[in-house]
Chains A and B, each alone.
Chain A
Amino acid sequence: MRVGDRPMRCLVLTVLVAAIASMPSVAQVGERTAPLRGLDEYVQVPESNPLTPAKVTLGRRLFFDPLLSADRTISCASCHHPELAFSDTTARSRGVRGQETTRNVPSILNRAYGASFFWDGRARSLEEAVVQPIENPREMALPLSILLDRLRQDSAYRHLFGEVFRDSVTGPNVARSLASYLRVLRSGDSPADRYMAGERSALSVEAARGLEVFFGKANCVACHAGPLFTDESFHNTGVSPADTGRGLVTHRAEDRGAFKVPSLRNVAMTAPYMHDGSIATLDSVVEFYDHGGGLSGRSDPELRPLRLTNEEKRELLAFLRSLTASSFVHQP
């Protein structure tokens, strides 16, 4: 019995619905959700894509559906694992037909607050970003036109799209749905957030000292600043000079090898690190920066040896681990 057979389709649909229904529920969009400590209450939502519960539900369904890949084996969640802060454990993930992706999978939590998307910042909105992996030949390798055909042939999706959008199944509506789901994936209220809100017992002494190192001697806040611990600027830290990075987008020589500063929220869960996944552990990342960054390529002139003591490194690591939230709001 093949997936295309009607009874099988029904079974698959039933299993999917049951699987989704059994997961912790998404908080109702449109209602005022409780603010998460450490995150802004205000989330910018484009006027062209207002957030509604039905749209988020549709987006969540698409996110977990391997229908969105050429060979129907890969869904968005195949690389963005919810239990790993929506990233994965490999330096480069595998797309359809086992092809390796070009860069490390970034976490997609808190992207509602993002200013640009992907390591090179090539997308300016979530709506623009979400369809690119679907069509990327190394990732899901499915032209949008074929995806739309598949969705239109599926009665459940026809119904769902019709409920949400007046013009039903279109490319922009697929983008709007997926973007809306990503927009509600938020993670805050970590021990570090509680500590910075005044709850002095939220951090161990070691992690509290690590906070001082983070803001002080190590000067991580030069780039990892704000509620998301990233200012979303682009820097060349001397990693992997072969990848032009931001330079491919802006075509400026000074942007060659520069990549977006990633958020450090839940960083302890998103190994390996850097845009190419070349650094395996958080300890190694601290050593990397303590030495003044990578020696290859034109690394950022602001990088310099930090001369951290072993104790300061331990403290800094303890603080970085305290950026892990105990649960994700709107987890699927």
Chain B
Amino acid sequence: MNRVITSLVIACILCSSRTRTAVAQSGSDVFQQALRKERVDGDLKGAIALYQRILKDYANDRALSASVLVQLGSAYEKQGSTEAQAAYQRVVREFADQPNQIVRAQARLDALASTITAREASGPTLRRVWADAPGAGGASADGRILSFADRRTGQLGVRDLTTGETRMLTENPPRPWQVYALGNVPSRDGRFVAYSWYSGPHPVELRVGSTRGGEPRVLVSNPAIEFIAPLDWSPDGKQIVAFAVRKDRVGQIAIISALDGSLRVLKTFGWRVAPGRMGFSPDGKFIAYNFAPRDDANQRDIYIIATDASVESVFAGTIDDEQFLGWTPDGKHVLYATGQAEQRSIWLARVEAGRPTGDATLVRRNAGAAEPMGITNRGTFLFGVAAPSPIRALSVALDSTRPRSSSPTPITLDRPEAWAAQWSHDGQAFVYASSAKPDDSRATHLIVRTTSTSAERVVPAVDLAYAYSTRWSPDDRYLMVVGQDKKGRRGVFRVDPSSGATTLIIAAAAGADEVFAGWTADAKSVIYTENVGQPLVTGIVRQRDLQTGEERELMRLPGIAIGSPKISPDFKRLAFLSRDSGNSSMKSLKVVELGTGESSHATTLARAGDIGPFTWSTNGHSLYYVVPSDGERQTSAESSKDRLMRVSTTGGDGSEVPISIPSRSIGIQMHPGGDKLLFTAHSSSPGQRDIWAMENFLPTSGLPGGGARR
């Protein structure tokens, strides 16, 4: 019995001491906790919860309550929430005995009112926040930290817009673009950045690093995932939404834990182009994303899917191309763009429970193309605008009387960008590849241009995601396109330029982009190459009958890897590039006679540190080839230092052709007339961009100024 009484007493003492401890934490103590949470931890949500708890638990302390309400209003303002006004108004309305707090609250109400008036009077405003940025990735929620992958070097960096400091988080590798960052986005609190990291033969990794620098963590490195790009962080910082491309080329929305890298697939999209921009709603319950609903659609729609996979809806799905730009800070609207390029307009549409409600409101017309980076807590839309850096087609006359200072002549085309360009054998037509959409290089069009009239038409229904090179058949009836279809299959495709019918003729291994050598004289067969064996590579030349599918091996070249093969105009020889075995720093231009079978011997015509694109002369007696100035990616807009060389197939040293050629060329072809060369080349601009901020577009009680309805 004594033991029982003793236990009861001890229990009572413990209970009362716990109670005393609870009482000991005053409202002021909790207020200090809340202030620390807001200002030190940056945890606005947690701070707001504490402010509200104080208002509930310590309502009798009017001085404290008034102070807390003012602070609560300030926190709501940082979130961009209209609740800020309500908090300040409550101070003014209910706390007449707290004059100091009334003054503070009224001052904020006046400031908010003038902001609203200015907004309604002037409409959205634009200002450039960073000129000549090396890249554009994402923005932190407060808009202070921008992440980017430097387009010149591929390295990851962050910019502090407040201080103007730029900090690189990864270092240049020994060789440019040996390893590099791709998609990148900072966490909402600006403390971390998630990014894709390419490092050669390994799968692309998803990494997370501190914006202060230091060793990153690898979240995802999975051979079954060929590519992964982070697009947004969840508001609580615990998850990252990314689009992932599997080994079989299907695209997926993946949600990755920022803590342990565990990945769950929310949705798979089949063979189509992977989903585009995505973003978590401010409450973390939904993800809005871009996706083209059909394989042949140039128009993207916007979808919203619940993060618990319970529901999905089309947010914006019209015949226009709709681009998701971001969620407003209160999660009640989605900002998006419609239309193409310069005619693009920006709209704001209300959303509830993941579904659009009501009409959309026009924010800005003719906004131009933008790379969205995010909408900040204060309702600033940050975006990048890129200087055009297209691949162009240029013509250079083979006229040594032209002064070298004369520039190559750009060929004016309907599209701003052109690659894989080829004249037909009769010179009457010109084919080139271009992006289906200006800001999406993953869907490719083939365009045929009639040289006499300059009229262009798109080859219909070509089922290719990308075209590396094109070649007309000897009778100009078909095209052979080395590329990749939307199923991710690489190889050589025969395309009917009239109907667009596309057939895979030769499947190539991953990485083997240059395998098509040319047609036989009767156009009934094609010749292609394959490199087999490790470490000693053997180049194999094969011929395939297009009718029967039968193949025969023409020759084997032990120790010689064949690259960029091209059949001569007389169909009797094969020229190709090869990196010397045992000396990978030197490249050779070689020629071999076809039809000599096992006794084939490749003759080296030229050797250099690097040899660029080459082409046969029309009579097949010589080869023209480009020697780049430094063999590496150029990083500044300098005048061309690349040289055009000519070498006879009968031997002898090559000689420079004294004409000015474009720098950074990736393709060259002799015109059938033999008097000019067609080059495809990168523009000299390295692709800088400016970062802009659009403000004053969020709705208040009504519509933004000048709001048209959609």
Contacts from A to B (Cβ < 8 Å)? 32, 35, 39-44, 195-198, 215-216, 219, 221-222, 225-227, 231-232, 301-302, 304
Contacts and interface: CB of A to CB of B under 8 A. Distances in A.
A35 B222 CA distance: 19
Contacts of B249: 221, 225
A40 B248 contact: no
Given A215-B247, A221-B247, A231-B270, A42 B305 contact: yes
A195 B247 CA distance: 13
Nearest to A219: B507
Contacts of A219: 489, 507
B270 A226 contact: yes
B500 to A, nearest CB: 14
Contact of A225 (B263, B266, B271, B504): B271
Interface of B: 222, 224, 246-250, 252, 263-268, 270-271, 305, 308-310, 312, 487-489, 503-504, 507, 509, 549
Contacts of A35: 264-265, 309
A282 to B, nearest CB: 20
Nearest to B312: A42
B369 to A, nearest CB: 31
22 contacts: A32-B308, A32-B309, A41-B266, A41-B267, A41-B309, A42-B266, A42-B305, A42-B309, A197-B222, A197-B224, A198-B222, A215-B248, A219-B507, A221-B247, A221-B249, A221-B487, A225-B248, A226-B250, A226-B268, A227-B250, A231-B270, A231-B487
Contacts of A225: 246, 248-250, 270-271, 487
B264 A41 contact: yes
B220 to A, nearest CB: 9
Given A35-B264, A198-B222, 6 more contacts: A216-B509, A221-B249, A221-B487, A225-B249, A301-B503, A301-B504
A222 B266 contact: no
Contacts of A42: 266-267, 305, 309, 312
Contacts of A302: 503-504
A227 B310 contact: no
A220 B308 CA distance: 32
A32 B4 CA distance: 49
B313 to A, nearest CB: 10
A207 to B, nearest CB: 14
Nearest to A41: B309
Nearest to B247: A215
Contacts of B266: 40-42
A161 B298 CA distance: 45
Contacts of A215: 247-248
Contacts of A304: 507, 549
A32 B310 contact: yes
B270 A196 contact: no
**Most B CB within 10 A of own CB, among A42, A198, A304:** A42
A38 to B, nearest CB: 8
A44 B309 CA distance: 9
Contacts of A32: 308-310
Contacts of A232: 270
A222 B549 contact: no
Contacts of B312: 42, 44
A198 B262 CA distance: 10
A119 B23 CA distance: 73
A197 B340 CA distance: 39
A197 B247 contact: no
Contacts of A216: 509
**Most A CB within 10 A of own CB, among B252, B270, B308, B488:** B270
Contact of B224 (A39, A196, A301): A196
B309 A43 contact: yes
Nearest to B249: A225
Nearest to B308: A32
Contacts of B270: 225-226, 231-232
B493 to A, nearest CB: 11
Contacts of B503: 301-302
Contacts of B549: 304
Nearest to A303: B549
A301 B249 CA distance: 21
B248 A226 contact: yes
Contact of B222 (A39, A196, A222): A196
Nearest to A292: B549
A219 B491 CA distance: 12
B374 to A, nearest CB: 25
Nearest to A196: B224
B267 A40 contact: yes
Nearest to B313: A47
Given A219-B507, A225-B248, A231 B271 contact: yes
B477 to A, nearest CB: 18
B547 to A, nearest CB: 11
Given A222-B487, A231-B487, A40 B222 contact: no
A197 B252 CA distance: 14
Nearest to B507: A219
Contacts of A198: 222, 224
A32 B307 CA distance: 11
A29 to B, nearest CB: 12
A227 B264 CA distance: 12
Contacts of A222: 487, 489
B354 to A, nearest CB: 12
A271 B504 CA distance: 30
Contacts of A44: 312
Contacts of B268: 40, 226-227
Nearest to A217: B509
Contacts of A196: 222, 224
- Going nearest first, the 8 A-B pairs with the smallest beta carbon separation are A196-B224, A41-B309, A221-B248, A225-B248, A42-B309, A226-B250, A42-B267, A40-B268
Contacts of B267: 40-42
A222 B310 CA distance: 31
Nearest to B261: A198
A26 to B, nearest CB: 18
A294 B632 CA distance: 49
Contact of B263 (A197, A221, A301): A197
Nearest to A193: B224
Nearest to B306: A42
